């Protein structure tokens, strides 16, 4: 996966800590760097910091845009430390665990489990959840960092349906491993998804059902940006994914499982990277008026010909 063609990019929403958090994560994970910083002036949340960064060569975006959404473990990130691919994997996973544990909350202790020699689930000091796993790859290589969607509450039992839905929407998708809950693991229902991974546009995801009493579900704190090259592509993903009309705003939508996506023109990144403050302000003003993004109007705003 090259950094220029990653089609689906995880997006993290912070109150005020996006730059600080990105710098922290870049110091924790191997092969990590901040790639760009931008300030959007006069948004509904005031001035908003936007930061692009790479963690272990996986692209992320983050924004500081007010205290509206809070991370929870329904969406986490699995980090694979594979001794066949990573030198000193056992030492590296220990080091990352210790750094993420600073002021964090342990959800599952870092220990040996039947499914892993070393595994732990931690909520870091910003509330973001990470699952660290010492693993030996079998078959096709997975990304080192993989988003995990946990279907809980009224969404529990829908992981398999959701995987099939996403595979039908994204043109370059494939099913990976799948394991189901056996009998006797109540409250989890026999046959629902204990673990399954799948790839959309070369971005691996993990899905799982959990029938335990979780007091959270998917929200906009973590969304997935889908970069599109044309208006037709924007329309395609918008029409198939959007299921909650009241959540449609500024290119954001929510699907029928509650997962948030942003359908954005790839060109917007280039506009932001090379724009003057005046151009950035004009583009942002147009974005704030839109639900689904209109590439032609954004290009006119960028060029100053929208009036």
In this predicted model, what pLDDT tens digit does every residue of 195-213 receive, in sequence order?
999 999 999 999 999 999 9
The whole-angstrom separation of Cα 298 and Cα 287 is: 7
Q: Which CATH class is domain 12-64?
A: alpha beta
Q: What is the pLDDT of residue 46?
A: 82
Q: Give the residue range(s) of CATH 3.10.180.10 domains in the chain.
A: 222-307
Fold of 75-209: 3.30.720
* CATH, domain range 222-307: 3.10.180.10
Q: Give the residue range(s) of CATH 3.30.720.100 domains in the chain.
A: 75-209
Structure tokens, 256: 């029928």
Tell me how far apart the terminal alpha carbons of the chain are, to the nearest angstrom. Answer: 40
Q: How many residues does the chain have?
A: 307
Residue-wise pLDDT for 82-130, tens only, equals 998 888 999 999 999 999 999 999 999 999 999 899 999 999 999 999 9
Would you give the DSSP letter of residue 152? -
Distances (CA, A) of 296 to 40, 209, 250: 21, 41, 15
* pTM assigned to the model: 0.95
Q: How many CB atoms lie within 10 A of CB 210?
A: 22
């Amino acid at each position: 996966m090259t950094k220029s063609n990653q089609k689906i990019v995880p997006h993290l929403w912070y109150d005020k800590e996006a730059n600080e958090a990105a710098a922290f994560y870049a110091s924790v994970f191997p092969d990590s760097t901040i790639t760009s910083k931008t300030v959007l002036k006069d948004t509904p949340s005031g001035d908003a910091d936007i930061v692009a960064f790479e963690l272990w060569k996986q692209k992320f975006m983050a924004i500081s845009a007010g205290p509206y959404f809070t991370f929870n473990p329904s969406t986490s990130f699995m980090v694979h430390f594979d001794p066949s691919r990573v030198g000193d994997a056992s030492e590296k996973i220990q080091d990352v665990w210790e750094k993420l544990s600073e002021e964090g909350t342990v959800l599952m202790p870092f220990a040996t489990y039947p499914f892993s020699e070393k595994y732990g689930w931690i909520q870091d000091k910003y509330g973001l959840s990470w699952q660290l796993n010492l693993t030996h790859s079998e078959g096709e290589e997975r990304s080192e960092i993989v988003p995990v969607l946990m279907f809980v509450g009224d969404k529990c039992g829908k992981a398999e349906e959701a995987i099939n839905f996403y595979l039908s929407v994204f043109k370059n998708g494939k099913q990976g491993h799948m394991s189901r809950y056996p009998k006797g693991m109540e409250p989890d229902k026999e046959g629902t998804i204990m673990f399954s991974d799948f790839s959309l546009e070369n971005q691996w995801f993990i899905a799982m059902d959990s029938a335990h009493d979780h007091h959270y579900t998917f929200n906009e704190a973590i969304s997935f940006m889908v970069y599109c090259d044309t208006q037709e592509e924007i329309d395609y993903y918008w029409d198939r994914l959007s299921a909650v009309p009241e959540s449609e705003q500024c290119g954001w939508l929510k699907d029928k499982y509650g997962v948030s996506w942003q359908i954005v023109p790839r060109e917007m990144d280039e506009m932001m990277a090379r724009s003057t403050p005046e151009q950035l302000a004009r583009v942002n003003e147009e974005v704030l008026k839109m639900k689904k993004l209109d590439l032609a109007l954004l290009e006119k705003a960028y060029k100053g010909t929208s009036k």
